[in-house]
A and B are shown apart, each in its own frame.
Chain A
Amino acid sequence: MTEPIIGILGAGKLGTTLARLSVQAGYRTLIANRHAVTELKWVIDTMAPGAVTVSAADLVAQANVIILAIPLSHVAALDAKTFAGKIVLDATNYWKEVDGTVNTISSFTQSSSEVVAAHLSQARVAKAFNHMGYHDLEIEVDRHPEARRAMAFATDDDTIRPTVRTVLTGFGFDPFDLGPLRFGLMLEPGSPLFGEAITTPEFQAKIDTLYDTPFGRKIVAARGERIR
């Protein structure tokens, strides 16, 4: 594809951090939340200079790689048809404090990114940027300029794999291809992989022992398969 135009939907802890990484990577970077552009612009000009504040609708129209940095429970309200053909990097997680004490959105049989992909059915969805805390995105990039941290992604759309790799690399990470979207389950909160900012060999080693853990056993019980 042509040079990615990154659109970061959500301008909170994660969104503003990713905006800085995207600008550093040299991408044209758009960012939006649900507020008026004038309310967000001064915040972005201060926190992520170089990123362009736009309305959420303009962002979806203009960006070709859209990163979802909004609460998972807000995804269902997104206007799905406007996402047709877009590459969507889903960074959302089910998070009790935000999405509710009882998870009625995702489960071990339908992981959160599968829910997102089902809603944005005409978009090309990958799960990415969800397993590292927003502080660590920058701390761990600063800390190991020589040994990049693995950023896992999962998607069912082979045509977007090269772009996803390019973007993750541009942001400062070592892309780690988990395979199909449903394998993204192993990145969700509660998994031993969640919260990890480690190198690719270390990440692989953790996957290798995942099925010795209660979370891994729950995956097998629910899915009847060992994903990867």
Chain B
Amino acid sequence: MTDKQYTFGLDTFGDVAFHDDGTQMTAAESLRQVVAEAKLADDLGIDLIALGEHHRSEFAISSPEIVLGAMAAVTKRIKLGTAVTVLSSDDPVRVFERFSTLHALSNGREQIMLGRGSFTESFPLYGFDLENYDGLFEEKIAMWADLLKGKPMNWEGKFTQKLTDTTVYPQLPAGETIDTTVGVGGSPESIIRAVYYGFPVVIAIIGGEPVRFKPYVDLYHKATQQFNKPDLPLGMHAHGIILDDAAEATAVGWEYIKAEMDRIGIDRGWAPMSRDRFEFEIDKGSYYVGTPEQVAQKIAKNMKTLDMSRFDLVYGTGGQLEHQRLATIRNYGERVIPRVKELLGGGAND
């Protein structure tokens, strides 16, 4: 396991953040805040920052590639990704154009994570029928795989435009591609589809004991054999808050993570999160909330259990105060990541 290449990322959905005095930032301030945070993450040597795409009042980022473009200008090494790009309600050709532009501007540091998205606001917004939720994704991921081949496209689909010998610009430099991954929830079908196209998967493990996801991990590896693909890296993404004081981290989580889950719950008809469930998620479940040492131990344990080579920490969930967001990023970069690597490098394979 020691020769494994690990990736540690930071993800944000672009939750509108709060100033330290408790007043909420404007969406514009929030967007600039995220760019500054990417710069900090880059300085700290974090491998990747990935942005969600949302179209609702709680979130400032609806056009992640533009934000990533701004980040490209102020960072040097960090990978600039999405988590996720809702391909179903987008035009794969335009997505390709935006990412090949980002590829150029960032010197190949872009990464796209395709997903069906857990929110559906983009469908009516862009004029797509929600009942084609599955069909749209299936067709567009196939189109995306074709676009990446870099040859003039011949394409005919049910939901997408017909293309005849069409080249899409800017073309990628010869031999280069857009780094593509797929974000999944818990659908066996989604994992199989991603592997079929040879795209690495990141699983959102945002509730419950991570070990429960073992069947999905096994399916992923099994699918690579089934389709004769190289063993692709596997990642997970989860919410976290890392502060020097565990009680404070818990309090911030209760205030912001719970609030966000409850807000989403109202739309989906879920009950508000109970204190008992929240504490379970911190103790045994999927929230990485606590001190750097606590969080590092938990990340390392779950990465080992699930044989993960990538971990993305979702920070700033529910907004949070500026200093809380920055503390999480600093702790993650300075203390958690090195410690997780040490823990993973040590007692391998047990």
A interface vs B, CB < 8 Å?
11-13, 16, 20, 42-43, 46-48, 96-101, 133-136, 138-139, 142-143, 189-192, 194-196, 198
**B280 at the binding interface (Cβ < 8 Å):** yes
A202 to chain B, nearest CB (A): 10
Whether B188 pairs with A13 at a CB distance below 8 angstroms is yes
Whether A97 pairs with B208 at a CB distance below 8 angstroms is no
Partner of B188, one of A47, A99, A192: A47
Name the 9 nearest CB pairs between A and B, nearest first: A139-B208, A97-B133, A100-B131, A195-B270, A47-B215, A46-B222, A46-B218, A46-B219, A101-B130
Q: Which residue of B lies closest to A15 (CB)?
A: B188
Q: Determine the chain A residues whose CB is within 8 A of the CB of B265 once the complex forms.
A: 195
**B268 at the binding interface (Cβ < 8 Å):** yes
Whether B207 pairs with A42 at a CB distance below 8 angstroms is no
Given contacts A97-B120, A97-B133, A195-B268, 10 further A-B contacts (CB under 8 A): A42-B226, A47-B216, A96-B131, A101-B130, A135-B186, A136-B208, A143-B208, A143-B280, A192-B269, A198-B271
B40 to chain A, nearest CB (A): 33
Whether B215 pairs with A139 at a CB distance below 8 angstroms is no
Partner of B187, one of A12, A101, A191: A12
What is the 8 Å Cβ interface bit string for chain B, positions 251-273, against chain A (1 contact, 0 not)? Answer: 00000000000000100111100
**B212 at the binding interface (Cβ < 8 Å):** yes
User: Mind listing 30 A-B residue pairs with CB under 8 Å?
Assistant: A11-B188, A12-B187, A13-B186, A13-B187, A13-B188, A16-B188, A16-B215, A20-B215, A46-B219, A47-B188, A47-B218, A96-B130, A96-B131, A97-B130, A98-B131, A100-B130, A135-B207, A135-B212, A136-B208, A139-B212, A139-B285, A142-B209, A142-B212, A143-B208, A143-B277, A143-B280, A190-B269, A195-B268, A195-B269, A195-B271
Q: Which residue of A lies closest to B124 (CB)?
A: A101
Interface size on B, residues (CB 8 A): 30
The majority secondary structure among interface residues of chain A is helix
**B134 at the binding interface (Cβ < 8 Å):** yes
Q: Determine the chain B residues whose CB is within 8 A of the CB of A198 once the complex forms.
A: 271
B123 to chain A, nearest CB (A): 9
Query: Contacts A43-B192, A46-B222, A97-B131 hold; do A142 and B208 have CB atoms under 8 A apart?
Result: yes
Q: Which residue of A lies closest to B284 (CB)?
A: A143
Q: CA separation between A12 and B189, bound complex, in Å? A: 7
What is the 8 Å Cβ interface bit string for chain B, positions 214-257, against chain A (1 contact, 0 not)? Answer: 01101100100010000000000000000000000000000000
Please provide the chain B residues from 127 to 185 with a CB less than 8 Å away from any CB of chain A in the complex.
129-131, 133-134, 185
Q: Determine the chain A residues whose CB is within 8 A of the CB of B285 once the complex forms.
A: 139
Q: Determine the chain A residues whose CB is within 8 A of the CB of B131 once the complex forms.
A: 96-101
Whether B134 pairs with A135 at a CB distance below 8 angstroms is no
Q: Which residue of B lies closest to A102 (CB)?
A: B131
A23 to chain B, nearest CB (A): 11
Q: Which residue of A lies closest to B208 (CB)?
A: A139
Query: Contacts A46-B218, A47-B218, A139-B207 hold; do A98 and B134 have CB atoms under 8 A apart?
Result: yes
Q: Determine the chain B residues whose CB is within 8 A of the CB of A13 once the complex forms.
A: 185-188
Q: Determine the chain B residues whose CB is within 8 A of the CB of A196 once the complex forms.
A: 271
- Between A12, A13, A46, A190, the greatest number of chain B beta carbons within 10 A of the residue's beta carbon is seen for A46
Q: Determine the chain B residues whose CB is within 8 A of the CB of A143 once the complex forms.
A: 208, 277, 280
Q: Which residue of B lies closest to A71 (CB)?
A: B134
Whether A134 pairs with B186 at a CB distance below 8 angstroms is yes
B208 to chain A, nearest CB (A): 4
B214 to chain A, nearest CB (A): 10
Q: CA separation between A192 and B207, bound complex, in Å? A: 21
Please provide the chain B residues from 178 to 205 with a CB less than 8 Å away from any CB of chain A in the complex.
185-189, 192
Please provide the chain B residues from 87 to 146 with a CB less than 8 Å away from any CB of chain A in the complex.
120, 129-131, 133-134
